Amino acid sequence: MPKYDIINQDEEKLGKREKWKLAKKRTIVNKNSLTSESLMRARVITIVGKNYFVDFGEFGSDMGLMECRRAGKIVAQHSQSQLIAVGDIVKVEPDNDFGEISTIVEVEERSSYLSRVSIIGEKEDVVAANADRLLIMAAAADPFYNKRLIDRMIVSAVMGGLEPAICLNKIDQMPLDFLKEDLAVYEKIGMPIFFISAKNDLNVQSVADYINSGVTVLSGPSGVGKSSLLNKIYQGEDAQKILEISEKSGKGRHTTSSAKFFRISENSAIIDTPGIREFALWNIDRGELPTYFREFQDFYDDCKFIPCTHTHEPGCSVKNAVEEGLIDSERYQSYLNIFDSLK
């Protein structure tokens, strides 16, 4: 019997330091996991409070959706403090001591993650796990896009192993040539960018084609049209069922309250997420920040001082490139803002 690092999950009572120690311990060496016959693999599709909704479909079972709880002791093959996130692949022990409720006993390794600092306190909030790309959603109006936020989200995507892309919605609200010019820098640095109107069905197909394989996370401020885009692309039967799980509160507005995983086809899925107000970066080192600004890479090896923070040093190639217009000054401003926020 292989040894497992099984962690007791009474975490709420722990101090910061102990939590950190726990997180470190959670990297499991043996990857063969618990080989109990009864365990079933499933995908976490949404989380509401302490209830985890999982889907067995993609792992060859016809059990459909199931509501689970987290076992008191759980094995995690990743080292992040948030044990279970939407998109995780888990092992479920069906029907046990809880009666009707099944339990999640293991979380598989994450191939990628989108993390930020949670709104409540200094904790890591894993918005989604195991996705291939982040489609950063923004709008031409109500609310007007914020480039500083877009740049933060790009950094976070790259850190977590996701391919970033931008989708600017509501192009019916603003002259298109203004929008294209104002956001031209993203195309210049090689990022896919789509200008669409979900409501009026403009260019929605080009986005659908772009995300037609792999798992795509939709993230951005509230009201930019994430759910509207999802609804245009996907009208599957499960959609309604999944929506009913957690949108019961409904006060007229259709605002999304928890992340939800929608399988679009055999090889593609979309994770719709709740609107964000801000996006504070989690666990990033000042020294590695420049590597997440891909257009800086052509310059920073030529800085006079190594290491160079590219903020005040004389002979800084990055700063020179900004002055010569080779690096976009607003992108550089985003860099400085993030640099300042990392103390």
Ligand X SMILES: Nc1nc2c(ncn2[C@@H]2O[C@H](COP(=O)(O)OP(=O)(O)OP(=O)(O)O)[C@@H](O)[C@H]2O)c(=O)[nH]1
Stretch that binds Mg ion, among 63-71, 80-88, 189-197, 248-256 (CB under 5 A): 248-256
Smallest separation, CB 256 to Mg ion (Å): 3
**Residue 228 binding target from ligand X, Zn ion, Mg ion, none, CB below 5 to 8 Å by type:** ligand X
Nearer to Mg ion by C-beta: 226 or 319?
226
Written as six digits, the tokens of 233 are 């692309």
Cα separation, 21 vs 3, in Å, equals 19
114 Cβ contact partners less than 8 Å away, ≥ 6 residues apart: 126, 127, 128, 129, 131, 134, 156, 157, 160, 162, 217, 219
Kindly state whether residue 318 participates in binding Zn ion, applying the rule CB under 5 A.
yes
Determine contact, residues 316/308, Cβ cutoff 8 Å.
yes
Determine contact, residues 326/180, Cβ cutoff 8 Å.
no
**Number of residues in contact with Zn ion under rule CB under 5 A:** 5
Q: What residues between 264 and 303 interact with Zn ion by CB under 5 A?
A: 303
> Cis before residue 143, ω within 30 degrees of 0?
yes
Stretch that binds Mg ion, among 96-104, 163-171, 224-232, 334-342 (CB under 5 A): 224-232
Smallest separation, CB 167 to ligand X (Å): 11
Determine contact, residues 116/156, Cβ cutoff 8 Å.
yes
Nearer to Zn ion by C-beta: 140 or 318?
318
Q: Which of 332, 339, 330, 342 is nearest to 296 (CA)?
A: 332
Which positions touch ligand X (CB under 6 A)? 169-170, 172-173, 197-200, 222-228, 254-256, 274-275
Helix (H, G, I), strand (E, B) or coil at 192: coil
Determine contact, residues 269/216, Cβ cutoff 8 Å.
yes
Determine contact, residues 76/85, Cβ cutoff 8 Å.
no
Nearer to ligand X by C-beta: 103 or 256?
256
Smallest separation, CB 274 to ligand X (Å): 5
Which listed residue (215, 316, 321, 327) binds Zn ion by CB under 5 A?
316
**Residue 131 binding target from ligand X, Zn ion, Mg ion, none, CB below 5 to 8 Å by type:** none
Kindly state whether residue 165 participates in binding Zn ion, applying the rule CB under 5 A.
no
Smallest separation, CB 305 to ligand X (Å): 43
Cα separation, 15 vs 22, in Å, equals 11
Written as six digits, the tokens of 311 are 């903020």
**Residue 192 binding target from Mg ion, Zn ion, ligand X, none, CB below 5 to 8 Å by type:** none
Nearer to ligand X by C-beta: 226 or 310?
226
Rg, Å, the chain Cα set: 22
Determine contact, residues 33/91, Cβ cutoff 8 Å.
yes
Smallest separation, CB 7 to ligand X (Å): 33
Smallest separation, CB 208 to ligand X (Å): 15
Nearer to Mg ion by C-beta: 262 or 293?
262
DSSP characters over 292-325: GSGGGTTTGGG-SSSS--SSS-TT-HHHHHHHTT
Smallest separation, CB 70 to ligand X (Å): 26
Residues binding Zn ion (CB under 5 A): 303, 308, 310, 316, 318
Residues binding Mg ion (CB under 5 A): 226-227, 256
